[in-house]
Structure 1
Amino acid sequence: MVKDTGYYDILGIQPDATPTEIKKAYRRKAMETHPDKHPDDPDAQRKFQDVGEAYQVLSDESLRKRYDEFGKDEAVPQQGFEDANEYFTAIFGGDGFKDWIGEFSLLKELTEATEQTDGENGTDGAATTDETGITKHDGENKLDGSKKITKEQRQKLRDLEEKRREDMMKQVDELATKLNEKINQYILAVNGNHLDEFTRKLDQEIEDLKLESFGLELLYLIARVYKTKANNFIISKKTFGFSKVFTGTRDNARSVKSAYNLLSTGLEAQKSIEELSKVNPEELDQYERVKFESMMAGKALGVMWAMSKFELERKLKEVCNKILNDKSATKKERLAKAKAMLFIADKFSRAKRSPEEAEEARVFEELILGAQEKQNKKHRVL
Structure 2
Amino acid sequence: MVVDTTYYDLLGVATDAKQIDIKKAYRKKSVKEHPDKNPDDPTATERFQAISEAYQVLSSEELRMKYDKFGKEEAMPKNGFEDAGEQFAAIFGGEAFTSYIGELTLLKNIQNTQELSEEDERAKEQEASEKATQQAHNLNNNNNASNGDDDTKSAEDSTNNGTAKKLTSGGDDSSNPETKKKGKLEEFEEQQMLDKEKSIEELSKTLSDRLSILTESAYDDACKESFDKKFEEEANMLKMESFGLDILHTIGEIYCEKANIFLKSQYLWGFGGFYHSVKAKGGLVMDTVRTVSAALDAQSTMTELEKLKETANSEEPLKDEAGNVVEKPTVEELAQLEQLLMGKVLSAAWYGSKFEIMSTLRSVCDKVLEDETAEMSTRIRRAEALKRLGKVFRRAYRTKTEQEDAQVFEELVAEASKKKGHKHHTSSTANKQ
Give the shorter-chain TM-score range: 0.5 to 0.7
CA contact (8 A) 1:106 1:307 kept: yes
CA contact (8 A) 1:189 1:198 kept: no
Structure 1 residues 46 and 277: CA distance shift in structure 2, 3 A: closer
For 2:240, what is the secondary structure of its paired residue? coil
Structure 1 residues 170 and 331: CA distance shift in structure 2, 3 A: same
**Cα deviation code 1:10-35 (max 9, x no counterpart):** 354xxxxxxxxx6x455246468989
CA contact (8 A) 1:223 1:344 kept: yes
Structure 1 residues 48 and 314: CA distance shift in structure 2, 3 A: closer
Cα shift at 1:125: 5.6
Cα shift at 1:184: 1.3
CA contact (8 A) 1:176 1:322 kept: yes
Q: Superposition pairs for residues 140-179 of structure 1, below 5 Å? A: 155-179=183-207
Residue number in structure 2 paired with 1:109: 109
2:78 and 2:361 map into 1 onto residues whose CA distance is 35
Which segment is superposed worse, 218-227 or 195-204?
195-204
Is residue 248 of structure 2 the alignment partner of residue 219 of structure 1? yes
Residue number in structure 1 paired with 2:293: 264
CA contact (8 A) 1:222 1:348 kept: yes
Is residue 349 of structure 2 the alignment partner of residue 349 of structure 1? no
CA contact (8 A) 1:206 1:348 kept: yes
Structure 1 residues 335 and 187: CA distance shift in structure 2, 3 A: same
CA contact (8 A) 1:30 1:51 kept: yes
Residue number in structure 2 paired with 1:6: none
Q: Superposition pairs for residues 176-187 of structure 1, below 5 Å? A: 176-187=204-215
Residue number in structure 1 paired with 2:408: 360
Which segment is superposed worse, 102-111 or 113-122?
113-122
1:334 and 1:292 map into 2 onto residues whose CA distance is 52
Is residue 343 of structure 2 the alignment partner of residue 298 of structure 1? yes
Is residue 107 of structure 2 the alignment partner of residue 79 of structure 1? no
Q: Superposition pairs for residues 55-94 of structure 1, below 5 Å? A: 55-57=59-61, 79=78, 82=81, 89=88, 92-93=91-92, 94=94
Structure 1 gaps, min length 5: 1-8, 13-21, 38-44, 127-151, 367-382
Structure 1 residues 85 and 224: CA distance shift in structure 2, 3 A: same
Cα shift at 1:110: 0.8
Residue number in structure 1 paired with 2:319: none
Is residue 264 of structure 2 the alignment partner of residue 235 of structure 1? yes
Which segment is superposed worse, 230-239 or 290-299?
290-299
**Cα deviation code 1:270-289 (max 9, x no counterpart):** 33332222121886766444
Structure 1 residues 121 and 80: CA distance shift in structure 2, 3 A: closer
1:72 and 1:194 map into 2 onto residues whose CA distance is 51
Residue number in structure 1 paired with 2:16: 10
Cα shift at 1:81: 7.7
CA contact (8 A) 1:53 1:81 kept: no
Structure 1 residues 274 and 80: CA distance shift in structure 2, 3 A: closer
> What is the TM-score of this pair, normalised by structure 1?
0.64
Residue number in structure 1 paired with 2:139: none
1:276 and 1:178 map into 2 onto residues whose CA distance is 46
Amino acid at match of 1:161: E
For 1:300, what is the secondary structure of its paired residue? helix
Amino acid at match of 2:209: E
Structure 1 residues 95 and 365: CA distance shift in structure 2, 3 A: farther
Which of 267, 271, 279 is equivalent to 2:308?
279
1:301 and 1:78 map into 2 onto residues whose CA distance is 29
For 2:270, what is the secondary structure of its paired residue? coil
Cα shift at 1:98: 1.0
Amino acid at match of 1:10: D
Which of 256, 277, 285 is equivalent to 1:248?
277
> What is the TM-score of this pair, normalised by structure 2?
0.57
Structure 1 residues 306 and 361: CA distance shift in structure 2, 3 A: closer
Amino acid at match of 1:106: L
Structure 1 residues 181 and 326: CA distance shift in structure 2, 3 A: same
**Cα deviation code 1:256-307 (max 9, x no counterpart):** 3333333333333333332222121886766444423222222212222222
1:80 and 1:122 map into 2 onto residues whose CA distance is 34
Q: Superposition pairs for residues 363-382 of structure 1, below 5 Å? A: none
For 1:241, what is the secondary structure of its paired residue? helix
CA contact (8 A) 1:52 1:87 kept: no
- Percent of matched pairs sharing the same residue: 25
CA contact (8 A) 2:305 2:334 kept: no
For 2:185, what is the secondary structure of its paired residue? helix
